[in-house]
Structure 1
Amino acid sequence: MLHLRMIAPHHLTGQVVELIERTVGTTHLVVLEGAARDPEGDLVLCDVARESADELLQEMRSLGIGRSGSIAVENIDLSISTRADRAEEEAPGEAADAVIWEQLAESTHEESTLTITYSAFLIVATMIAACGVVLDNAILIVGAMAVGPEFGPLAGICTGLVQRLPKAAWRSTIALLVGFAAAIVATTVFSLVMDALGLFHPGMLDKPRPNTSFIWQPDPFSFVVAVLAGVAGMLSLTSAKSGALVGVAISVTTVPAGANAAVALSYGEFGQMWGSAEQLLLNLLGIIVSGSLTLLGWKLLWRTQHARMIRPPGAPRGGSGDA
C-alpha cells in the first residue's frame, strides 16, 4: 500500500474526494478542511493499493493539484487493517507488477543527472577496472562493475523515450556520454601515472589475459547479455526490487570496457582500444533497446487495466466494512 497526502484548493476538494472514492483499491480517506496554510487549502489523506496508484496520480495531476497544491507519496511498510486488505484485493493485478510512472521518472531523474558524485563514482569505478584489466583480476572487474553508476542514466534514457520526455532523455544522454568521457580521460592519466611509478607496463596489457580478454573482444553474446540485463534492470526499477540492480551491474562490461580502452590508449594499443569501445557501445545500445521495450510492454499491459481501476457509479466500495 501507498499513503497519499494532498493539499487541495478548497474549490477542488470535492473533485479530489470523488476521484478517490471512484478509484478501486483506495481506503482510509481523511479530509481536514482548512488545515493547510502553505499553500492554503484542505488536507486530503488516503491509502491506495500500488496497482491503482499510477492511475490515481495521473487523474490528480489532470485536476491541477500538482500546480495549485501538492501531492506526496509514501510507502507503507506495515498496515494492520481489514479495509486495507480488502482494498488490495479489489485492485487489479499484483502490487509487485505495478508501475508508478511518476515515481519511476523521479527516481531516474535523481540517478541520471550529471553531478560531481556521479562523475566521481564512474571515474573511481573505471580506475578500479583498469587495475583489474592489467592484472587480469576478475574480482577487481566485478567490484568495478558494482561501483559503476551508469545504469541510472541508461534507465533515464529509456524512461524519457517511452514517456516522451525529450528533456529527460537528453539530460540522461549527456550524463552518460560526459561521464564516460571524463572517466576514460581520467583513467588514461591514471594509467600513465601508474606506468611512471612502475606499477603498470605495456607487457601487462599485451600478455594473455584469459580472465579479462573478453572485454576488448566483443561477440554476439555481448549484445545478448546486455539485452537481458536491460530487461532485468527495468523490471527491478519498476517493481521497486532494487536489490536486483547489483546483479544487472555486474553482468555487463560497460565500465571495464571503458577502463580497457583508457589503458590501451595510454600505451597506443589502438586495436584493443577500438575493441573495447565496440564492447562499450554494444552494451549501452543493448540495454537502451531492451530497457525501452520492457517499459513499453509494461505501459501497454497496464493500459488494458484502465477500465478496471475506476468504480462504476453506485458500485459498493470493496474497501468498506468494519476494520
Structure 2
Amino acid sequence: MRFLQIAVPVGKRDGVESVLSEADVDYFLTDETSGRDYAALVFVPTEPEDVEALLDDLRAIGVQRKGYVTVSKLETVLSDRFERQRHDGPTAEETIEETNGRIAREELRARAAEIAPITANYVVFTVLSTIIATAGLLMNSAAVVVGSMVIAPLIGPAIAASVGSILDEDDLFRTSVKAQFAGLLVAVASAAAFGGLVRATFLPHADIRLIGQVAERINPGALALVVALGAGVAGAMSLTSTTSVALVGVAIAVALIPPAATVGLGIAYGDVTAAVSAAILVLINVLSINVASLATLWIQGYRPKHWLAERTARRAVVRRAALLLAAVLVLSSSLALTTVNISENAEFERTVGDITSETDAQVLSVEFSYQTELFLRHPSTVTVRTVGGSPNTAEALRERIERRTQQDVTVVVIREDGDVSTARALRSSPTDAFDRRNSPTNADSGVAGAYPGVGVA
C-alpha cells in the first residue's frame, strides 16, 4: 500500500477535495496553521495501482506548482471502514487491469534514480561478487558461482537505463549507461587481478578451458540468450511492482558476473580465446537485458507525463530498441554456431556410446575430453573403462569411431580385471586372530589384487 501526503496550496483546497472524492478514495484533511502558503494537509492511504491516476489529476489542477505531494510505503492500516471501502469500491481486479498492476510513474522514476548512480557500495559489492564468482569458476563449483550473485548490484543501472528512455529522462539514461559499463569494467579488472594472483601462487599452469564452469561461458549455446532476456523482463517487472528487486537481481547478475569473471580469467592466464568468447557473451547479455527491460516497461504502459515528451520518448525508444536488437542479432550469430556445435558433440557422444556397447568387453564408463576454440569445442580424447577385452580394443574402437563419425580422436581403454581384494585389520580381538591364522584366504602379503591394463590408440 501507499500513503500520499499532500500540502495543498492556498486556493486549491476545493480542487483537491473534488479530485479525491471523484477517485472514491478515503482521506482525511486538516487545516495548515503554520501561516505559510498552504491551506491544508491531506493524507490518503491507497493502493499502489491508484497512485499514478491520483498524481495525474492533482498535477492537472496545479498542486505541484506551489504545494507538493509525497508518496511513501504504508505497511498496514487498522481500520474496518478502510477495509470495507477497499472491498466495496472498484474491485482490485478492475484496478489492476487498468494499470497492469504497476506502481506510479513518479515512484518508478524515484526508484530508478536511487539505484542508478555509481556509488562506493556499488563498486565494492561488484568487486566482492566478482572475486567470489571467479573463485567459484576456478573451483568448478556452480553453488559458489550462484551464491556470489546474491550481493551483485548490477540490476540497478541495467533497468534504470530503460526507465530513463521510457520516461524521457536523459540524465537518468546517461547515468545508468555509464554505471553499467563502469560496473562491467570493474568486474573484469577484479577478476583479472584475482586470477593473476591465483596464477602466481596456487595454479600457475592451470588450463582454464578444461574447467567446466569456465567452458560454459566460453562456449555458450542459444539458451544463454533466453537467460538474459528473461532476466531483463524480470528485472523490469520487479522495479514496477512490490517484488524484491534484490532477489530478481540475482538473475541479472547470473547473466553478467560469471562471463565478466571469465573474461578476467582469460586475461590473467593469457588465453585470448577465453577472453574474447566470454566478452562477446557479456555484450550479448547486457544488450539483451536492456532491450527486454525496455520492451517490458513500454508494454506495461509507462509514458512521460506530457504528450510532447511522449512523442520524443517514443522516437528515442524505437531508435534505441532497434539498435539494441540489431546488435543482439549480430552478436548472437556466435551463439548459433555454438548451439550447432553443441548438438554435433551430443550426437558424437551418442554414436560413441553405441560403438562402445558393441564391443566384447563390459563397458563401465565412457568419458570425453574436448579441445576448446573460439565458439567451438572439438572432441580430442575418448576414455573407456572396461572389464575384459583384448589388448587391441583401443585401436579397433578408434578406427570404428573415425569411420562412423569422421572424427579422428585419441582413444584410451582402461581394462579392469574385475578381481576383488581384501585386507583385514591388523588390530583385532584374539578370536579374530585365531580365525585369521586358520583362514585359507589369508595371504602373507596381506593384500591381493592386480593392476588394470591400459590401452591407448
Point out the more displaced range, 274-283 or 215-224: 215-224
- Aligned counterparts of 1:58 and 1:132: Cα–Cα separation in 2: 49
Shift of residue 63 of structure 1? 4.0
Do residues 76 (structure 1) and 80 (structure 2) align?
A: no
Match of 1:203 in 2: 206
Count of residue pairs the alignment pairs up: 297
Match in the other structure for 1:267: 269
The 1:168–1:20 alpha-carbon spacing in structure 2 relative to 1, beyond 3 Å, is same
Is 1:284 the equivalent of 2:286? yes
Query: Kindly tell me: are residues 99 and 141 of structure 1, through their superposed partners in 2, closer, same or farther at Cα, counting changes over 3 Å?
Result: same
Q: Which residue of 2 aligns with 1:159?
A: 163
Aligned residues of 1:35 and 1:43 also touching (Cα < 8 A): no
Structure 1 residue aligned with 2:112: 108
Partner residue, 2:16: 16
User: RCO higher in 1 or 2 (8 Å CA, sep ≥ 6)?
Assistant: 1
Residue 176 in structure 1 maps to residue 180 in structure 2: yes
Q: How far apart are 1:295 and its partner, in Å? A: 1.0
Distance 1:214 1:63, change over 3 A: farther
Aligned to 1:42: 40
Larger-Rg structure: 2
1:274-322 residue CA offsets vs partner (Å, 9 max, x unmatched): 1111111111111111111111111179x9xxxxxxxxxxxxxxxxxxx
Q: Distance in 1 between matches of 2:100 and 2:85?
A: 17
Q: Which residue of 2 aligns with 1:130?
A: 134
Shift of 1:96: 8.2
Mapped to 1, the partners of 2:7 and 2:292 lie a distance apart of: 38
Letter in 1 for 2:107: Q
Note closer, same or farther for the CA distance 1:83–1:154 as it changes in structure 2 (3 Å cut): same
Q: 2:138 and 2:35 mapped to 1: Cα distance?
A: 61
Q: Distance in 2 between matches of 1:39 and 1:267?
A: 67
DSSP 3-state at the match of 1:168: helix
2:49 to 43, 48, 51: 51
- Residue in 2 that maps onto 1:254: 256
Partners of 1:50 and 1:116 in 2: how far apart? 31
Amino acid paired to 1:278: I
Task: Map 1:289-304; keep pairs closer than 5 Å.
Answer: 289-299=291-301
SS at match of 1:131: helix
Deviation at 1:38, TM superposition (A): 6.9
TM-score, normalised to structure 1's length? 0.83
What is aligned with 2:333? none
Question: What secondary structure, in the 3-state scheme, does the structure 1 residue paired with 2:212 have?
Answer: coil
In structure 2, runs of 5+ residues without a counterpart are: 306-457
Could you tell me how far 1:34 is from its partner in structure 2? 2.2
Contact 1:126 1:187 in 2 (8 A): yes
Match of 2:198? Answer: 194
Structure 1 position 213 matched with structure 2 position 215: yes
TM-score of the aligned structures, taking structure 2 as reference length = 0.60
Aligned partners of 1:49 and 1:211: how far apart in 2?
45
CA gap of 1:191–1:30, structure 2 versus 1, over 3 A, is same
Distance 1:254 1:18, change over 3 A: same
Change (3 A) 1:102 1:191: same
Q: Percent identity?
A: 22
Distance 1:36 1:167 in 2: 36
Residue of structure 2 in register with 1:141 after alignment: 145
Displacement of 1:176 in angstroms is 0.8
Q: SS at the partner of 2:144?
A: helix
Does the 8 A contact of 1:96 with 1:239 survive in 2? no
For residues 237-278 of structure 1, give each alpha carbon's deviation from its aligned partner in whole angstroms, at most 9, with x where no partner exists. Answer: 21211165155246x320111111011112211111111111
User: What's the Cα RMSD here?
Assistant: 2.5
Give 1:64 deviation, angstroms.
4.2
Report how far residue 68 of structure 1 moved: 2.4
Runs of 4+ in 1 over 6 A off after TM superposition: none
Distance 1:257 1:167 in 2: 29
